[in-house]
A = this chain, B = another copy of it.
Amino acid sequence: MKTPTLPLFDRPEGMTTHDYAFARLRQAIMVGSFRPGTSVTIRGLAEALESSPTPVREALRQLTSIGALQVLENRRIVVPRITPARFEELISLRIALESHAARRAVAHLTERQIERISAIDDSIEDEIRRGDQAAALIANQAFHRTIYTANPDQIVMPLIESVWLQLGPILGIAMEHVSELYVVDRHREAIEALRRRDEDAVAAAIAADIREGIGGFDQQAIARLLKLAA
């Protein structure tokens, strides 16, 4: 199993080699470019990124500590495999974390910010209509992130992104086998609830959005997808 190709990623000036490697790998995993079970090697990535083992190893270490990658007993590094039980854990954890994050953001959101969130939701539907699943996925993440980060003291976002990263690989598989992945109806519901400053309704809409989106796959569907990926 060889090192997969990495999506393009502009390197901002002044960014360290390590940060660049980390950001690029993270992005690749987040959008499902890596399949579960794929093994990544330090030298392989160093070559792909035109750098040396040192910064790449640091990036891999960071990715493993946030659950995006997994170190085997052999010390080899692989993209974690997902079981139906693990998938269910990830979905329920997403709901717990994001309901909480949404609640604690409600009070901080300005009308202006809510408008921006509504615009992001429109762009999601645009991307879906255009058939660009990856772009729709990125926009969907932006929708959620923009809500949660409205809380200036928020510290939950890194944890949420950790869960997103762990869902990335199966998301990539799903994108290959399912034509429509998102049900965005709940987004408008969430936006309306934000306007009303109704914490309970916001949390409920977010939970439903997750449950009916990627979380909507039942155990059998997941098992089928996982079999396809094997």
Decide yes or no whether A219 CB sits under 8 A from chain B: no
Given A58-B57, A96-B100, A155–B86 Cβ distance below 8 Å?
A: yes
Chain B residues whose CB sits within 8 angstroms of the CB of A156 once the complex forms: 89, 93
- The answer, among B57, B62, B158, for a CB contact under 8 Å with A67, is B158
Chain A interface, DSSP helix/strand/loop, else mixed: helix
Nearest B residue (CB) for A80:
B155
Q: How far is A65 from B66 in the complex, measured between Cα atoms in Å?
A: 7
Interface centre among A88, A152, A153, A166 (most CB of B within 10 A): A153
Q: Across the interface, which residues of B come within 8 angstroms of A158, CB to CB? A: 67, 162
Question: Which of A83, A89, A166 has most chain B Cβ within 10 Å?
Answer: A89
Sorted nearest first, the 3 A-B pairs with minimum C-beta distance are A85-B153, A96-B100, A62-B65
List, sorted by A's number, 14 A–B pairs whose CB atoms are closer than 8 Å.
A58-B58, A58-B61, A61-B61, A62-B62, A62-B65, A65-B65, A66-B66, A85-B153, A89-B151, A89-B154, A89-B156, A93-B159, A96-B100, A158-B162
